[in-house]
Amino acid sequence: MGTASFFTIIVMSVATVLVSLFIGFVVGFITVAISSLVLLWLYGSFWTTLLFLFSGLYSAWGYVGWLGLLLAFNHAFISTDALIYFFSNKLNQQSTADGPNEPFNGPGLTSEEDEVARLLDCNDHYSALGLPRYGDVDMASLKREYRKKAMLVHPDKNMGNERAAEAFKKLQNAYEVVLDSIQRKSYDDELKKEELLNYFRRFQNSSQKETRGHGFGSSEGEEEEGLRECRQIACMKQWQVQSEEQVVHQGKEEETRGCQTGTWMRQ
């Protein structure tokens, strides 16, 4: 019996005596019984909840690993910026170990076609404008970058080029969103959620591949061992049946020979 249960029994016993003295024994016992049932129900629900909580955490850890649990706890306890900082540092370390990345275009050598292709390939407004994500936006640099890129992809400069018109619309939309602080804040929140989901899916796929690889390897090995055992058992049974049949045939042959010998002796 634990300490909590011991003190619960003492408290309920004292409460039973006090209630019985003030309002009568029958009503007192009924009141204490109801309160005891409620207390035990709450106490049992607490431990049941803890059991399901730890079992769920263990299942999630086995399925997505520590990074998946970290992303799940982020929604309630950890800041999104902290996780993005952690993931970005990890990716930077991997890219540094693999080797430095080559720049897309040299400074001042960007042509109209290259800029159109770059804008159409951009996945967010910051990369379209050439600005860092989630940082303080300098309005002067923002306007300067917008004007420089707009001059390259403007529809008047690229007559008949539908890709240039589409790239200019994308650049103009990015400029309007980043220029407005309210729209930029809501866009940053959505961008952070999408980025975290992409990280989570990437790590989830890698963990699933590793888990499935180990699982398939072990299952294949177990299946091969099981097949070998089944084959050995089948061979043993077949050998036993054949040996028994040989013994029976030998016995029948000996009986037949004995009968033939006795008949010949009588004759």
pLDDT at 161: 81
Whether residue 27 is found in the same domain as residue 126 = no
pLDDT at 216: 44
Whether residue 49 is found in the same domain as residue 129 = no
Taking the C-alpha atoms of residue 15 and residue 9, their distance in angstroms, rounded to an integer, is 10
Whether residue 209 is found in the same domain as residue 107 = yes
Query: For each of the chain's 267 residues, which pLDDT tens digit applies?
Result: 456 656 666 776 676 666 666 666 666 566 666 776 666 666 666 666 667 667 777 776 776 666 666 666 665 555 556 666 665 565 555 555 544 444 444 444 457 788 888 888 888 888 888 888 777 788 888 888 889 888 888 888 888 788 888 888 988 898 898 888 888 888 888 887 777 777 667 666 665 665 555 544 444 444 455 445 544 554 455 556 556 666 555 655 555 555 455 544 445
CATH of the domain at 192: 1.10.287.110
Is residue 240 domain-resident?
A: no
Is residue 93 domain-resident?
A: no
- Phi and psi at 134, nearest 5°, equal 55, 25
Whether residue 111 is found in the same domain as residue 170 = yes
Whole-prediction pTM: 0.43
Helix (H) or strand (E) holding 71: helix 25-74
Is residue 192 domain-resident?
A: yes
Is residue 137 domain-resident?
A: yes
Taking the C-alpha atoms of residue 170 and residue 153, their distance in angstroms, rounded to an integer, is 10
Taking the C-alpha atoms of residue 110 and residue 132, their distance in angstroms, rounded to an integer, is 19
> What total of structural domains would you count in the chain?
2
Whether residue 109 is found in the same domain as residue 187 = yes
Whether residue 126 is found in the same domain as residue 191 = yes
pLDDT at 155: 83
Is residue 151 domain-resident?
A: yes
What are the distances in angstroms from CA 212 to CA 4, 56, 57, 99, 142? Answer: 44, 20, 20, 31, 48
Whether residue 47 is found in the same domain as residue 134 = no
Q: Which domain holds residue 174?
A: 103-214
Whether residue 107 is found in the same domain as residue 208 = yes
Whether residue 186 is found in the same domain as residue 110 = yes
pLDDT at 220: 47
Q: Give me 157's structure tokens.
A: 């400069």
